[in-house]
């Protein structure tokens, strides 16, 4: 590499231009290092010194790659205000090695560095660019650095540059990534005014950098892609932390990795009509708190273009918290721009992402998705709030239906002024929420936990739905073709209207191995079926629910409620089951335990006022359930031949004893004694609503049989049981329904024969 002073190069160039009588001196053909030897901002070819401005002039004229070297830690004030920016107009590489020197702009409303050849390359290393007063408030494009060339900044600090309405660093068009059109590494941009990093149709890479405390947006690109931000902090800027736009193609890609986007006034990340977002191991927090047009944590609008692959939003191992939006989606918003027939289906995926404490206007306090599929895995939506629908999540895709899945994703403590305190979802192919909790959510309207409409199917498994409040369907308010609840606990939900735990409008609703406890509503404390739904309750425990109409279950006359191997006990107020505007269509399929006969019963059921001996709602084998005591009348109610569901709510093997148990949980029941069997029979007699004289007579005979057994008088006990049997047979089909009489005779005969 040759090394020349700027003054000698200028002399050579000048000599080559003086008269034809002089011998021409060829320009150097290899890279040149130009050492700056004075801090003065002068142009004086005869002083034997090289100023920074002269070095730029020389580099722009010698048609080779150049390196300008500054003195270590020196300050270079720019006060040649008439000439303007340090200009480089050459298609070669210009490297400025700053050695931690400072270039200080003292001229008003004047740019600092300008590289104007698109085919060139500008590299700034180890440099500080300071100042740029702007009393005239002129918007300058690239007030600190304007580069039509490729641009690379490494270990560069840019501060106190004022370009209101303009930009601080500007790069030109080109979407290449080898290299990126603009590449920044270990850069610190702070206390500037204007859009800090900008370009039009460029690619940009930002590594291990800080963009903070600026008046304006940190990164503001127009159709800038791909954009990569890695290991960086972009914070406390008055507008958006990172923003770009696109044309709705997957190549319109933004990547944010291991970065913090925090406390930016309008929003954290914003991309309009973009194609691909990949965010990993990053934090987006506290954005949108000061601007009147706040856009929240992440705003990423997408399209489905004809013949084009799908847009995608993927967020992995990240936190989106404490953001605010005046539109839908306080934490994350994925709205649609253009939907064309034949376009690939957009896909939003959150993998181990925490979305908490965000707020919005118009829906989706935590997340708003209005296009394509949505999937969340092992994440959380907590303590988000909205003035619209969907405190945690608002999913409203008019182009669907598509799938919506929350896998081991907790939805807790969210609130909505509209519907769906936890989740509002409309037009869904398959809704799945499994392995977690939908809890402590509140809606002013329907669906404290979930409001789901126009869905093909809704599935909940290994799930807790608890402590939600809403007008109707406090836990779940579901309109779907098929609803499935498997190993689900629905507890402590409160509705002011219908359906404390669940309000369902469906073709079919299957509830299996599930527990309902302490739910409350005016109608249907546990569950309410408001259309011609076929409801199947299998191995379900319902206890301590409250409602004026149907403490456990209420249904319109066109609905059918089939109950098998279940326990509907301890209604706090009202009867266990009731009709809504007509008769209750309850059908027993056998082996149930009921507090009363309002749900429908057959001979194999136990209708009893006896204590079911349920434990409190507590974690049993990790599941929030109510465990019966070993002596509970629920024990052994189901013959082993009818034990067709192999596991209970805790996934314990069924049966645990000789027979299966009614309700959601299996227990190892104590062997039933003659005394306990007679007690159960007494409870059945009392629950049958017989004439008082007949009830008293039958109960007396059974109590005398119990007393005889306790005193060891077996023969006397048999006599009293025979007397009970004869009287029941005499009243069969008269005061006692024939089926009930047959059941009582069978049970009393079995007790007698066991003595």
132: left (phi over 0), alpha (psi -120 to 50) or beta: left
Higher pLDDT, 208 or 680: 208
Q: What is the mean pLDDT of residues 508-533?
A: 98
Question: Does residue 26 carry a pLDDT above 80?
Answer: no
Centre a 10 Å sphere on the Cβ of residue 99 and count the other Cβ atoms it contains.
14
What CA–CA distance (Å, rounded) separates 624 from 298? 35
Total residues found in the chain within this entry: 755
Cα distances from 237 to residues 257, 281, 487, 609, in angstroms, run 19, 21, 48, 67
pLDDT at 409: 98
Residue whose C-alpha is closest to residue 623's, from 500, 475, 461, 501:
461
- DSSP label at 671? P
Q: What is the mean pLDDT of residues 272-293?
A: 97
pLDDT in tens, 622-668: 999 999 999 999 999 999 999 999 999 999 999 998 899 999 999 97
Label residue 21 by pLDDT band (50, 70, 90): very low
Question: Does residue 422 carry a pLDDT above 70?
Answer: yes
Beta-strand pair 227-230/86-88: unpaired
Cα distances from 566 to residues 299, 337, 339, 658, 671, in angstroms, run 48, 50, 48, 18, 20
Label residue 30 by pLDDT band (50, 70, 90): confident
Question: Does residue 15 carry a pLDDT above 60?
Answer: no
Task: Look at 18-27, 274-283, 609-618 and tell me which has the smallest mean pLDDT.
Answer: 18-27
Q: What is the mean pLDDT of residues 695-723?
A: 94
What CA–CA distance (Å, rounded) separates 589 from 604? 9
pLDDT in tens, 423-433: 999 999 999 99
What CA–CA distance (Å, rounded) separates 451 from 426? 8
Q: What is the CA radius of gyration of the chain?
A: 39
pLDDT at 736: 94
Using CB atoms within 10 A of its CB, is residue 418 exposed (0-12), middle (13-18) or buried (19+)?
buried
Higher pLDDT, 687 or 267: 267
Buried/exposed code over 349-370 (b: 16+ C-beta within 10 A; e: otherwise): bbbbbbbbbbbbbbbbbbbbbb
pLDDT at 29: 55
Question: Does residue 25 carry a pLDDT above 50?
Answer: no
Residue whose C-alpha is closest to residue 77's, from 55, 49, 105:
105
Question: Does residue 390 carry a pLDDT above 70?
Answer: yes
3-state secondary structure (DSSP) of residue 56? helix
pLDDT at 4: 42
Q: What is the mean pLDDT of residues 70-99?
A: 96
pLDDT at 669: 64
Q: For residue 395, what are the contacts with CB-CB under 8 A and spacing of at least 6?
A: 368, 369, 370, 374, 404, 423, 424, 425, 426, 428
What CA–CA distance (Å, rounded) separates 107 from 80? 8
Angle made by CA atoms 350, 356, 362, in degrees to the nearest 5: 90
Q: For residue 641, what are the contacts with CB-CB under 8 A and spacing of at least 6?
A: none
Q: What is the mean pLDDT of residues 352-367?
A: 98
The DSSP secondary structure of 724-753, one letter per residue, reads HHHHHHHHBTTTB-HHHHHHHHHHHHHHHH
- DSSP label at 640? G
Report the DSSP beta bridge partners of residue 254: 227, 277
Residue whose C-alpha is closest to residue 110's, from 138, 87, 130, 73:
138
Q: What is the mean pLDDT of residues 490-512?
A: 99
Cα distances from 471 to residues 421, 515, 540, in angstroms, run 11, 22, 25
Q: Could you list the beta-strand ranges (E) of 346-416.
A: 347-351, 354-356, 359-360, 367-369, 373-377, 380-382, 385-386, 393-396, 402-407, 410-412, 415-416
- DSSP label at 248? S
What CA–CA distance (Å, rounded) separates 443 from 420? 6
Label residue 132 by pLDDT band (50, 70, 90): confident
Label residue 457 by pLDDT band (50, 70, 90): very high
pLDDT at 688: 87
pLDDT at 19: 35
Contact criterion met (CB below 8 Å) for 448 and 417: no
Question: Does residue 18 carry a pLDDT above 60?
Answer: no
pLDDT at 689: 86
Label residue 136 by pLDDT band (50, 70, 90): confident
Buried/exposed code over 21-40 (b: 16+ C-beta within 10 A; e: otherwise): eeeeeeebeeebebbbbbbe
Label residue 23 by pLDDT band (50, 70, 90): very low
What CA–CA distance (Å, rounded) separates 296 from 311? 21
Q: What is the mean pLDDT of the chain?
A: 93
Question: Does residue 462 carry a pLDDT above 90?
Answer: yes
Question: Does residue 490 carry a pLDDT above 90?
Answer: yes
The DSSP secondary structure of 450-461, one letter per residue, reads EEEEEEEEEEEE
For the chain, percent of residues with pLDDT exceeding 90: 88
pLDDT at 340: 87
Element containing residue 45 per DSSP (H, E): none
Q: For residue 83, what are the contacts with CB-CB under 8 A and spacing of at least 6?
A: 43, 53
For the chain, percent of residues with pLDDT exceeding 70: 96
Contact criterion met (CB below 8 Å) for 139 and 164: yes
pTM, two decimals, is: 0.86
Contact criterion met (CB below 8 Å) for 269 and 261: yes
Cα distances from 204 to residues 89, 176, 674, in angstroms, run 22, 9, 83
């Amino acid at each position: 590499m040759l090394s020349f002073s700027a003054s000698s190069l200028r002399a050579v160039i000048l000599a080559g231009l003086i008269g034809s009588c002089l011998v021409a001196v060829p320009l150097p053909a290899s890279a040149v290092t130009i050492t700056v030897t004075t801090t003065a901002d002068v142009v004086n070819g005869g002083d034997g010194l090289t100023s920074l401005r002269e070095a730029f002039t020389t580099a722009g004229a010698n048609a080779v790659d150049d390196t300008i070297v500054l003195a270590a830690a020196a300050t270079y004030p720019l006060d040649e205000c008439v000439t303007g920016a340090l200009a480089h107009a050459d298609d070669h590489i210009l490297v400025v090695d700053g050695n931690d020197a400072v270039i200080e702009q003292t001229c008003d409303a004047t740019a600092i560095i300008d590289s104007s050849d698109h085919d060139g390359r500008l590299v700034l290393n180890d440099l500080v660019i300071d100042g740029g007063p702007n009393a005239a408030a002129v918007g300058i494009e690239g007030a600190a650095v304007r580069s039509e060339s490729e641009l690379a900044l490494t270990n560069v600090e840019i501060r106190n540059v004022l370009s209101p309405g303009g930009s601080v660093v500007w790069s030109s068009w080109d979407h290449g990534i080898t290299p990126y059109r603009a590449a920044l590494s270990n850069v610190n941009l702070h206390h500037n005014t204007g859009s800090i990093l900008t370009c039009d149709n460029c690619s940009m890479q930002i590594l291990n950098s800080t963009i903070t405390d600026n008046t304006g947006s940190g990164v503001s690109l127009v159709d800038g892609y791909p954009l990569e931000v890695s290991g960086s902090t972009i914070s406390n800027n008055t507008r958006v932390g990172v923003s770009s736009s696109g044309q709705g193609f997957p190549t319109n890609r933004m990547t944010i990795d291991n970065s913090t986007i925090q406390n930016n006034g309008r929003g954290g990340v914003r991309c309009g009509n973009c194609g691909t977002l990949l965010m990993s191991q990053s934090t987006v927090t506290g954005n949108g708190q000061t601007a009147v047009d706040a856009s929240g944590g992440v705003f990423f609008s997408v399209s489905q273009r004809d013949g084009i692959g799908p847009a995608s939003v993927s967020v992995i191992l990240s936190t989106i918290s404490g953001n605010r939006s005046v539109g839908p989606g306080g934490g994350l918003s994925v709205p649609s721009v253009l939907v064309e027939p034949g376009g690939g289906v957009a896909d939003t995926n959150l993998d181990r992402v925490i979305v908490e404490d965000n707020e919005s206007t118009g829906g989706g306090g935590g997340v708003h998705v209005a296009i394509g599929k949505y999937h969340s895995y092992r994440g959380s939506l907590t303590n988000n709030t909205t003035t619209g629908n969907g405190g945690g999540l608002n999913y409203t895709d008019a182009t669907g239906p598509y799938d919506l899945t929350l896998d081991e994703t907790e939805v807790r403590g969210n609130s909505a002024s509209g519907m769906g305190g936890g989740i509002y979802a409309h037009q869904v192919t398959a809704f799945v929420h499994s392995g977690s909790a939908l809890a402590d959510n509140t809606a002013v309207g329907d669906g404290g936990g979930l409001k789901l409409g126009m869905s093909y199917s809704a599935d909940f498994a290994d799930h807790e739905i608890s402590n939600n409040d809403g007008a109707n369907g406090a836990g779940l308010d579901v309109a779907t073709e098929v609803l499935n609840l498997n190993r689900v606990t629905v507890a402590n939900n409160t509705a002011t209207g219908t359906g404390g735990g669940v309000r369902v409008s469906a073709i079919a609703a299957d509830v299996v191995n599930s527990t309902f406890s302490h739910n409350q509503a005016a109608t249907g404390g546990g569950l309410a079926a408001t259309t011609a739904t076929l409801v199947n309750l299998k191995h379900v425990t319902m206890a301590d629910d409250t409602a004026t109409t149907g403490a456990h279950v209420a249904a319109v006359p066109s609905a059918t409620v089939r109950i098998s191997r279940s326990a509907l006990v301890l209604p706090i107020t009202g009867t266990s089951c009731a009709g809504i505007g007509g008769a209750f269509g309850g059908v027993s399929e056998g082996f149930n335990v009921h507090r009363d006969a309002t749900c429908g019963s057959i001979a194999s059921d136990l209708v009893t006022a006896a204590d079911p001996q349920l434990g409190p709602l507590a974690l049993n084998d990790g599941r929030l359930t109510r465990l019966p005591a070993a002596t509970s009348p629920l024990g052994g109610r189901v013959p082993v031949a009818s034990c067709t569901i192999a596991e209970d709510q805790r996934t314990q093997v069924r049966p645990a004893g000789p027979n299966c148990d009614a309700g959601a949980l299996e227990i190892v029941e104590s062997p039933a004694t003659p005394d306990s069997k007679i007690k159960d029979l007494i409870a059945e007699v009392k629950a049958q609503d017989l004439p008082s004289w007949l009830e008293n007579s039958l109960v007396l005979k059974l109590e005398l049989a119990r007393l005889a057994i306790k005193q060891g008088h077996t023969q006397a006990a048999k006599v009293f049981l025979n007397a009970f049997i004869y009287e029941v047979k005499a009243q069969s089909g008269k005061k006692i329904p024939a089926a009930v009489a047959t059941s009582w005779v069978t049970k009393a005969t079995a007790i007698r024969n066991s003595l």
